[in-house]
Amino acid sequence: MSLTKLPSNQQDLGSADQKQDLSSFVMGQVQQLAIAPLQQALLRWYGEQGRDLPWRRTRNPYHIWISEIMLQQTQVKTVIPYYERWLAQFPTVEDLAIAPQQQVLKVWQGLGYYARARNLHRAAHVIVQEHGGQFPSEFEIVLALPGIGRTTAGGILSAAFDLPTPILDGNVKRVLARLIALPVPPNRALELLWQVSTAVLDVQHPRDFNQALMDLGATICTPKNPACLLCPWRECCQAYQLNMQNELPTSETRAPLPRKFIGVAVIWDDQDNILIDRRRQEGLLGGLWEFPGGKVEPGETIEECIKREIQEELGIDIEVGDRLMTVNHTYSHFHVTLNVHHCRHLSGEPQPIECDEVKWVTLDELHEYPFPKANVQIIDALLSYRDGK
């Protein structure tokens, strides 16, 4: 398979012949690489240009594990303050294991992808209970911990224990896809890219090599306008040699993100307390607190939606009042518009029918609870509303 003889549909790799052609192409590209000079050039560059990051100043596997989880789908500049606050709050895995989940989620608040925090908490229990509080150094055991996949396990083991375990995060996929001029989207050739990552890994210096590979993707081999003239792999990079660095890696065709319209109730009682509920553990925002509400059904007004959802979810009657605000927020797979209204509790005792817990709190107590980022905007608006009265 050459770049000039691709299948008519690059994403159609369903046949055994096409898969074999792609495998032969990738392995042929790898065999042409001068691996030792490649490794040496990258490590020299890393010694001069590598980033000084807090988790690179330690070999503590707990610290490195926390950083690896936080860095999943999150930029370094965003992670650093969260990483430092986390270790101040939970300096050891034992501290994390004994902490209440609500405290863990509160420290994580704003970092997104909250399943990561829940999985860290669950994994801490496993490490304390089954491994005596020592982070394991065996790949299969690490891989079995909640929230840890193949590339995260490789990153932890190479960084903490200097073990020769390859990695394949988003940056590394892009670097390797350009290195061999991969003619299909990386996610269509993951096992082949794992073979490439394994082939180029410097087994004598796996910690520095993997860190260097991630830095190369983050700072030089960027998604758009890569700085090829500064790249230590420029001479052997097939994408650069073919002047295709801006076309590779090829991307999947993505459908537009759908938008969900949600009616949200800020429910007040006669003592000016506000009703909040805690989401069930599963799902995108599991375990977090929120202002109750739900999806607007076809033909339904916002006010009708809020009144219905509160009856279904909490078993109470409310009066829907003035609009407080509209919040637009984007998650990884959809957009959401929150239509937020002041509401007054009329009758009924709130019940956790479709949530884990309900609670009346004062406006000043809201900051004690972990909320999704979009809900934090509502809290800020409520404080401004009160102060403006």
pLDDT digit string, tens, across residues 42-67: 999 999 999 999 999 999 999 999 99
Per the rule left: phi > 0, alpha: psi between -120 and 50, beta: everything else, 243 is left
Q: Which residues pair with 289 in a beta bridge?
A: 278
Q: C-alpha distances in angstroms, 280 versus 102, 138, 288?
A: 13, 33, 8
Q: How far apart are CA 384 and CA 350, in angstroms?
A: 27
Q: Single out the catalytic residue among 48, 68, 94, 303.
A: 68
* pLDDT > 70? residue 5: no
29 touches 180 (CB < 8 A): yes
Q: How far apart are CA 242 and CA 212, in angstroms?
A: 24
pTM attached to this predicted model: 0.91
> End of a domain among 186, 214, 241?
241
pLDDT tier at 13, thresholds 50, 70, 90? low
Residue 340 and residue 203 in one domain: no
368 is catalytic: no
Establish if 248 belongs to a structural domain.
Answer: no
Residue 168 and residue 70 in one domain: yes
Q: How far apart are CA 193 and CA 195, in angstroms?
A: 5
Enclosing domain of residue 313? 259-387
CATH number at residue 284: 3.90.79.10
Q: How far apart are CA 247 and CA 230, in angstroms?
A: 19
pLDDT digit string, tens, across residues 108-128: 999 999 999 999 999 999 999
* pLDDT > 60? residue 7: no
